[in-house]
Amino acid sequence: MYDSILILASCAIVFGLGTAHLALTFFSSRFEPRDANLAEQLRTVSPIISRQTTMWRAAQGFHVSHSMGPMLLGLIYGYLTICHFEFLKQSTFLVVLGGLTLAIYLVTAKAYWFKIPLRGIALALVLYLLGFGIALS
């Protein structure tokens, strides 16, 4: 029972981080640059790959897709933990995939992001590993 609670806590953290990122993207100015001139340039300059968008619109799209990954990870693994825990425990592929995904997010957070997502992902990974450590022992 503690195993599934630890895994669900991990899922909740990851889902929460993704959801918060999505909300901040659409309902705040947190991801806007501090420099107003740069903000204007981002809204008017297109990337080399296509003139059909601007750097600002592309960044908004990246924020949305960046949010969806953790949200889906949290939802799918949360669902499997609640409804199909025996199946999840028996699937080496899914157990390793979830842990590897969190580890990659952790390395990415360390290299490119800031403290809050780094700490959240680190905690989620520890809870995930503890949960499956108990479940598979």
Residue ranges covered by each domain of the chain = 2-135
Q: For residue 57, which amino acid is it? A: R
How far CA 76 is from CA of 15, 39, 52, 73, 122, in Å, comes to 10, 36, 34, 5, 19
Q: Are 55 and 46 in contact (CB under 8 A)?
A: yes
Average pLDDT in the chain: 96
* Tokens of residue 107, six digits: 């390395």
* pLDDT digit string, tens, across residues 47-57: 999 999 999 99
Number of residues in the chain: 137
pTM value is: 0.92
* pLDDT digit string, tens, across residues 103-134: 999 999 999 999 999 999 999 999 999 999 99
* Tokens of residue 136, six digits: 């598979």
Q: Are 120 and 11 in contact (CB under 8 A)?
A: no
Residue identified by tokens 């953290």 is 13
Calpha distance 68→95 (Å, rounded): 20
* pLDDT digit string, tens, across residues 55-109: 999 999 999 999 999 999 999 999 999 999 999 999 999 999 999 999 999 999 9
How far CA 88 is from CA of 20, 77, 94, 95, 98, in Å, comes to 27, 8, 7, 7, 10
